[in-house]
Chain A
């Protein structure tokens, strides 16, 4: 079985986000970029599935310009067997990304697609569900445990009410949550080895997918700031202050 893993290049989660003064987006010049943390967890899980003998090949996929090859190389260094960059000059919206993924799924005859439950830039949480819909296959979103047995996967999902379990037939799409695993650290020899692993570049047009960026993002603004309030000295003052404000 082949597993496709989606990897998105995003601003590193430790970077303080600054909105550009002209409102056209957020500052990315000279900013550290990384693999979306959720995608790293998806890749780790795929590698573990392969290492347990339940998959033959793990393929990392990213959509974007050549700069996303950096993240694909990191994915290869973590242990993915090969990489595909779907080359696109413009930034693509989730429906187009899902359509491109579907083409790759068909091309590679993948048995499982693993994605992060959301990317920490757009916070959309859409691609996995959209891919599953277009593919007509199961979706198991927000996974915190995945158990494969034969042609089925038992997935524990982190939902608002607690932990939900669903069983899905493969092929399927799984989107992963934070507590699924802790991704491995990349070792130096693996980085060297990754340079020799295959990385294929496919223009998005060659997949027969036309960008449908139908949502327009017209303006970015910084969020309203919460002002720093007052400090109290002890529990008694705190309770008194809350009572004065009618909160207790």
Chain B
């Protein structure tokens, strides 16, 4: 049997759109796929997964200890249900990056990271060196392919499906060496950075945490998610979950507007797949203008209020 198992990402209530993007990658590989939802009281999430078009079966593994996002618990569950699958896919989000290599090691295979294109059932493309090179990776056919899917490269498949849901108990007992404590979320009510169709970002030139209110107010006006360069996060202007780039989030919104971001390669790698990139920077020589579709060399502290007035 040659099937794909997708590991769903969710927060206990809502399925993360990364799962439907993995389904798009599975569709490109061209083999039937199932979805595994691991968690505690996950009937709702399993129901959402069942709507992903093309899904064979949703396996809902429901156990109290799977409610916490501990890779050690989740990995052993996935391994317990892995037999018969030729591919196991997860998203390239921090959830998938934490979990999938642990699964790969337990199965004794190397992991294919960040699939950005599919050339064949065992032949993929992925970016390396912060997106400065693209490499063709060929995985052996004799063993399971464990891979993360670069979510910014794939569109979510639509939600027109109605797959069967099969509940099963956990196969393994909880590990005792790791304990989940809590999650402190930096985000508010704004659209999720990784799925927003519009994103507005600020860089070091914002100057302060207070000045980031300019970014937030403009974002709220047009229903955008908000991001930041590493420099702005390091300076404490905004929380870490806003960081866009090689070591932060890789995003692909329809519209990306960067204010006061110079365009270091590590940042640019996070926005390369955006539909339209707009850059506003006082420095007309900033490297971000080399890749921007629309550039404006001007002071962001004048531009943002003017834009707010024009759009308000």
Chain A residues in contact with chain B, CB under 8 A? 11, 13, 16-17, 19, 26, 93-95, 98, 117-118, 120-134, 137-142, 144, 154, 157-169, 172, 177-179, 212-223, 226, 228-239, 241-242, 245, 247-248
Interface string of B143-175 (1 = CB under 8 A from A): 100000000000000000000000000000001
CB atoms of B133 and A248 under 8 A apart: no
Interface string of B173-191 (1 = CB under 8 A from A): 0011111111111110000
Secondary structure class of chain A's binding surface, majority of residues: mixed
CB atoms of B292 and A162 under 8 A apart: no
CB atoms of B246 and A248 under 8 A apart: no
Which residues from B are CB-within-8-Å of A162? 183-187, 239-241
For the complex, what is the distance from the CA of A232 to the CA of B293, rounded to whole Å? 10
CB atoms of A123 and B246 under 8 A apart: yes
Which residues from B are CB-within-8-Å of A128? 101
- Check: B196 CB closer than 8 A to any chain A CB: no
Given contacts A94-B111, A167-B178, contact A228 B289 (CB under 8 A): yes
Q: A26-B132, A217-B135, A235-B307 are in contact. List 5 more A-B contacts (CB 8 A).
A: A126-B104, A163-B186, A179-B240, A242-B278, A247-B275
For the complex, what is the distance from the CA of A95 to the CA of B108, rounded to whole Å? 8
Task: State how many residues of chain B have any CB contact under 8 Å with chain A.
Answer: 92
Shortest distance in angstroms between B104's beta carbon and chain A's nearest beta carbon? 7
Measured CB to CB, the nearest residue on chain A to B186 is A162
- Please tell me which stretch of B30-38, B42-50, B122-130 contacts chain A, meaning at least 4 of its Cβ atoms lie within 8 angstroms of it: B122-130
CB atoms of A161 and B185 under 8 A apart: yes
CB atoms of B310 and A223 under 8 A apart: no
Query: 3 nearest interchain CB pairs?
Result: A235-B306, A229-B293, A130-B105
Given contacts A123-B129, A226-B272, contact A161 B241 (CB under 8 A): yes
Which residues from B are CB-within-8-Å of A93? 110
CB atoms of B136 and A230 under 8 A apart: no
With beta carbons under 8 angstroms apart, the residue of A157, A179, A226 that contacts B234 is A179
- Check: B81 CB closer than 8 A to any chain A CB: no
- Please tell me which stretch of B20-28, B56-64, B69-77, B206-214 contacts chain A, meaning at least 4 of its Cβ atoms lie within 8 angstroms of it: B69-77
CB atoms of A218 and B178 under 8 A apart: no
With beta carbons under 8 angstroms apart, the residue of B101, B133, B249 that contacts A125 is B101
Shortest distance in angstroms between B283's beta carbon and chain A's nearest beta carbon? 13
For the complex, what is the distance from the CA of A157 to the CA of B185, rounded to whole Å? 12
CB atoms of A138 and B178 under 8 A apart: yes
Measured CB to CB, the nearest residue on chain B to A231 is B295
Measured CB to CB, the nearest residue on chain A to B99 is A129
Which residues from A are CB-within-8-Å of B176? 169
CB atoms of B303 and A235 under 8 A apart: yes
For the complex, what is the distance from the CA of A95 to the CA of B104, rounded to whole Å? 8
With beta carbons under 8 angstroms apart, the residue of A137, A166, A222 that contacts B179 is A166
